[in-house]
Amino acid sequence: MKFGIFHELATPRPFTAEVETQVVMNALEQVRLADELGFATVWAVEHHFLEGYSHCSAPEVFLTACAMQTKNIRVGHGAVVCVPEMNHPIRVAERAAMLDIVSGGRLEFGTARSSTWTELGGFQADPNATKRDWDEYVRIIPRMWTEERLSYDGGCFSMPERSVLPKPIQKPHPPMWVTVTSAGTELDAAERGLGCLGVATASYQEQERRTQEYHRRIQQSNPTGEVNDCVATLNFMHCHEDLATGAQRGMQFLGMFGLLNSHLLFTREAFPTTAYQSLAGLATPSGPKGGGNPGAQYGVPDGVCIGDPASIVEAVKRWESVGVDQINFLLNACELLPQDQVLDSLRLFAREVMPAFANGGR
């Protein structure tokens, strides 16, 4: 089991320069500490127009800053939106390779296709085309990184023979992932040899089913690039010596995250298409079933890493038992928790939780 931290850069209103700066500076401080404490990876999402929820529209810039301020932690470009209207495939390959170089070969390269109309509509992208286009990206980008020169005649773009430069440090190329929100995308990951980067919550049982099938299928994959047989999931983390305090603080930012998430207009809700199978409520906790009652109160949901060290160790052990290789943690939302509480939580987690796992969770 390895541990990572995951940044959306959720930002409180009003969106002043001071507030935006503070959110980024706090995130960078968390990254520096996570590096010192032995966390494996810092991930940064790519989102656009998601007011409050995520102001991380240029993750490669943020991750460059992370790389420059740390020594060991890997930088997770998680994930680049592989939609031509947002990111041309050549530019994606170029930027990622440069990030691998400046980080000294610490890049983890995630791919995604965006799940909201807020983003796709903003770039006037066709939701029906995103799966098809993503597939082209994950086939061609490894070739751009590994072939001295190439030409390409494809569906979403074409290019005459050129040398895409620079090439990444890691050989044959940085590990590749795809974000998984809907059930079934883990099979897309397996068949393409990609790591499974979970960004939505699933129950232990559901995760176990997905993980087993993923590991089975990836053995039969024949991808363009190198196989990355790995399952990572997203979780919320707040660790405190006192269970009640940890739960109270953690649920506070988890609730805020869910509310911010609810503002988003998911593609499936607004645009009828078979390309998006679920509403993909990113990382919202599952509440009591069957009522549809928006006033229902949440406790700490099963499997969420909020509480004291013992309760978190227990949750992580269960995730480990169902085949999860890495858990990436959201630490705050809209700066709801003071920075010192977030840093203390990280330190306590490293001191009390990580040693319970092989290699100290590193």
Provide the binding-site residues for another protein, judged by CB under 8 A: 13, 49-52, 117-118, 121, 256, 258-265, 268-274, 279, 281, 284, 291-295
| Closer residue to another protein in complex, CB, 281/323 | 281
- Residue type for 172, please? P
Rg (CA), the chain: 19
Nearer to another protein, 227 or 259 (CB): 259
Q: Which is nearer to another protein, 211 or 267 (CB)?
A: 267
What does each C-alpha distance from 213 to 156, 218, 321 come to in angstroms?
30, 8, 15
Q: State in angstroms the smallest separation of the CB of 213 from another protein.
A: 23
Tokens matching residue 161: 């023979």
Decide: 88 and 121 in contact? Cβ < 8 Å.
Answer: no
Nearer to another protein, 23 or 189 (CB): 23
CA distance 78 to 59: 8
Q: How many CB atoms lie within 10 A of CB 109?
A: 31
Instruction: Kindly state the smallest distance separating residue 200's Cβ from another protein, in Å.
Output: 14
Strand partners, 176: 109
Cis peptide, bond prior to residue 79, ω within 30 of zero: yes
Q: Which residue lies nearer to another protein by CB, 101 or 275?
A: 275
Residue 49: other Cβ atoms inside 10 A: 15
Q: How far is the CB of 32 from another protein (least distance, A)?
A: 29
Nearer of residues 281 and 360 to another protein, judged by Cβ? 281
Which one, of 77, 80, 81, 82, lies nearest residue 103 by Cα? 77
CB of 191 to another protein, least distance (A): 22
Shortest spacing between CB 236 and another protein, in angstroms: 15
- Report the nearest approach of another protein to the CB of residue 119 (Å): 10
Give CA angle at 262 (78, 108), nearest 5°: 5
What is the token pair recorded at 247? 């739960």
